[in-house]
Amino acid sequence: MLAEKYGTLEQAKANAGKPFEADPWLKALDWSIVGTDAEGNPVPAWYARANGARNITAKTDLAHKLLKLEWQGSPVLKTKDMGYCYTDKSGKQTRLPHKNGGGNCGGCFAPYYMPFIEDGTLSSSEPACLEIMRALQQSSFWIGYKSRLTEAAVFAMQNPADGRQVLAIAPDVCPANTVSLRTGSALWLTLASHTVPKPAGEVKSKVAAWPGWLQCNYDLDAMELNAAARFSDSYAGLVGSTAISYSCLVGTKKAKTEVHWLSAISADCGRDA
């Protein structure tokens, strides 16, 4: 929609809302002509690279320019060294805030920036901006878990409750070796989110043993290892005098002499089991 609005230089000048030469976002686009469309209109380079509008996503710099984003009334533009910036009241180019407190802003459509759009700190003259941000919020869960969902295997089975044929999902299961029985797999099981726009918060699951089998959980933590090593060394009064402390000090994963490997070997299983 926005790409078509500014798809030619004439359209851009007509729809800019201000003199084209004074529009910092449109001026930053590459307006060199690289061809013509089916109707014979000249096609600028930025529009050709975007393949019309098909290659424009919220993560692209082009989307930021077409939406004409502003921070406290100052145009938001991307720089090579500082990411997305604005010009403060003193005329100094300033980075947009980052969710981790520092570093460059790589994009303004992350959930972190939604409150700034709601209160007007981050604004746009394009009515579609707020609508796009809300749509991204609602779809962020599915975007983040896209690979987890598409990699799962789907097969037909009979529903034991009523005998109907249904489709079931058989994702890979990879136990995480913790006493909480959490998994590190891409399971299709999610916790509902208290945030209204988001359908879910995160993927959770639980590993359970098959009826008649017992599950044994074993986890090694650096803090626990250090405590055990110090306790064992206290009997001899010398650091590294016991097997566990010595393996903590000099054991390596490559040589299979660190504690995780030694534990796996003694249990006759792999290190990642």
Q: Domain count of the chain?
A: 1
- Domain hosting 234: range is 222-266
Is residue 230 in a domain?
A: yes
Pairwise pLDDT comparison (195 vs 263), residue with the higher score: 263
Looking at the DSSP assignment, which residues form a beta bridge with residue 191? 202
pLDDT, position 173: 58
Instruction: Tell me which amino acid residue 209 is.
Output: A
pLDDT band at 96 (very low <50, low <70, confident <90, very high): very high
> Cβ atoms within 10 A of the Cβ of 88, count?
12
For the segment 166-191, the average pLDDT, to the nearest whole number, is 57
* Residue range 149-167, pLDDT digits in tens: 777 778 888 877 788 888 8
Percent of the chain past pLDDT 90, that is, above it, reads 10
Pairwise pLDDT comparison (207 vs 234), residue with the higher score: 234
For the segment 119-145, the average pLDDT, to the nearest whole number, is 78
Is residue 236 in a domain?
A: yes
> Cβ atoms within 10 A of the Cβ of 16, count?
19
Is residue 196 in a domain?
A: no
Which of 8-17, 146-155, 253-262 ranks highest by mean pLDDT? 253-262
Is residue 65 in a domain?
A: no
Which of 36-50, 88-102, 198-212 ranks highest by mean pLDDT? 88-102
pLDDT, position 35: 83
Percent of the chain past pLDDT 70, that is, above it, reads 69
pLDDT, position 72: 94
Q: Burial, 90: exposed, middle or buried (Cβ in 10 Å; 0-12, 13-18, 19+)? A: exposed
For the segment 231-236, the average pLDDT, to the nearest whole number, is 88
Is residue 41 in a domain?
A: no
pLDDT, position 22: 76
Nearest by Cα to 245 from 264, 270, 225: 225
Is residue 71 in a domain?
A: no
Is residue 188 in a domain?
A: no
Average pLDDT, the chain: 76
Is residue 141 in a domain?
A: no
Q: Burial, 197: exposed, middle or buried (Cβ in 10 Å; 0-12, 13-18, 19+)? A: middle
Pairwise pLDDT comparison (230 vs 172), residue with the higher score: 230
